[in-house]
Structure 1
């Protein structure tokens, strides 16, 4: 940490804003928004801010993230307690918010999940799905989120949105990603029902859990939350779980996490979907298109992260490995769409 603070955080200015001296350290592991452990007046807090430079429009909206976490405080979905949102970019150079630190572990590595054993890994995976089902059953109007998004036409907008993000993140030719985008746009399915609160990046390593895996303490990283088709959360989760966390990972294995999915000894994705259906009472049907969308979305996000790395705008290590993610994700997405089109 420099005298001014860790990269992306001006401690002098933050101390003045809060009216008390603060110390801070960067919390490693995040590849998009930056997260810091902040100690202010003896309190353990967490600060979230957008990444440095090349910020994709709407993908790093601190106000939306703060709003949805605050709204979910009264629901069965475990979230941190929010403290303050600061839209003033002059304080630390970007909007940010503060929340109370939640005790627990974030499982990203198989060295963390291996000691759990098969039974506790299964129980943790099922608890993860129970929590997602609980999120999707929250009625947006009842928690003040009725205007948080526009469910009508959500899937078509997702394809257009991530296509636009791709165009803003290009640093090299990606013909197969373009092919996946076009085929997604031509095969958009009907939604299964009214819109739900969608997390947008739901996965095991976005949860704070008890160190022994016995309980979920908080769901983190709500930067892409909105109202839309809940099956997109399932499709993206399966992309992390069975594609990046399974045999299909190829060169992308371990880039995001090597502690999730069948490769790390957890149940297969089909078992997770069965648990979700049992918890939520909803028959989700085939998820091939939604998995393909998840592959496309992750490929675009990886390219954006890699692009920031080429510009020297990342904080931390390992970002060069994101260059390896687009190809296997795109291949799996095209294969998933083959069953939809066939």
Structure 2
């Protein structure tokens, strides 16, 4: 495998990407140029253009990877199935699984024009009515996802139809064992054991995004133009998506972002209000809400620990990489504190 230490793409790599696009029926009009799209904490994301058309390329980091994370093939498959539905996504263009060119697989999609609401400064560009419109559009997209007929769309094998909570607990406990801080082992063990004792039955099986929040969308005219970052998607319990969306509202998420984030702003609905709005707008009933909220907080703790692990492995830098580790104890505490409610 040709592992690259730099995030820049070489002329040889760009030529290989052009050849892959051509094979997929998207022959570039000329030489490709690439620039890194900032904001990602997992997969590397590039803006690719031939001067006429623009694409987005996603590929895993070159070091510090953990099993089952950074799954660009998963992103490609689910967005290809969702294209044309009521769930706004970028059109999937190609999946390249040969790792020789970039040191890992990569997926390419069309570029969706719009803007990302990552920071508090980004959100400040919108009026209060526009912020409300964005939130309503986000909830509408999530409800559409949870109503999507994944079986008819060819995603019956995208994930098991039941046992989602148990699988998620095993997955993130396993990731924690690889990347978690030894100093937090006692607290993490308490959370993991507590969740294991409270595993609920599953209310439904739908496509779940797995990491839903405003900066994982592209916004245009105060509406969600595309939901992005599908690498954690699977078939699972839709309540878990709502819980993740709410768990990210805690201010500790700013440490993961490395800046005051749009999603923690007090201009947005409080977590409990956000959950109620989802139900009132036609979403699923939030069965076993306490458990899913506790699991969501633990999952974010494991994600933050993974980011810190990649930093220590030399696989990334910039805003959030130096501070994500500081968010881990807060999210573990939030998970533990939700535990008394986790049976409900």
CA contact (8 A) 2:165 2:199 kept: yes
Runs (4+) off by over 6 Å: none
Confirm or deny that 1:120 pairs with 2:154: no
Alignment of 1:145-156 (within 5 A): 145-156=155-166
Structure 2 residue matching 1:116: 3-state secondary structure: coil
Q: What RMSD, in angstroms, separates the aligned Cα atoms of the two structures?
A: 2.0
Give the structure 2 partner of residue 35 of structure 1. 45
CA contact (8 A) 2:114 2:219 kept: yes
Judge conservation of contact 2:200–2:288 (CA < 8 Å) in 1.
no
TM-score with structure 2 setting the length: 0.90
Q: What is the aligned partner in structure 2 of residue 189 from structure 1?
A: 200
What residue is the counterpart of 2:67 in the other structure? 57
CA distance in 2: counterparts of 1:284 and 1:334, whole angstroms? 20
Q: Which of 223, 234, 245 matches 1:237?
A: 245
Equivalences for residues 1-342 of structure 1 within 5 A = 7=7, 9-19=9-19, 21-40=31-50, 42-174=52-184, 175-193=186-204, 195-210=205-220, 212-213=221-222, 215-241=223-249, 243-244=250-251, 249=252, 253-256=254-257, 258-261=260-263, 263-285=265-287, 287-340=289-342
* Alignment TM-score, normalising by the size of structure 1: 0.90
Unaligned 5+ runs, structure 1: none
Going from structure 1 to structure 2, the CA distance change for 1:317 and 1:238 (only over 3 Å counts) comes to: closer
- 1:158-180 alpha-carbon deviations (Å, 9 max, x no partner): 10111111111135321212211
Q: 1:314 to 1:261 in 2, by over 3 A?
A: closer
Number of positions where the alignment pairs a residue of Structure 1 with one of Structure 2: 329
The C-alpha deviation readout for 1:31-72, integer Å capped at 9, x for no partner, is: 111100111363211100012212121212221110100000
- Structure 1 match to 2:24: none
**Cα distance in 2, alignment partners of residues 262 and 321 from structure 1:** 16
Q: Is the 8 A contact 1:114 1:264 kept in 2?
A: no
CA contact (8 A) 2:33 2:50 kept: yes
1:24 Cα shift? 0.6
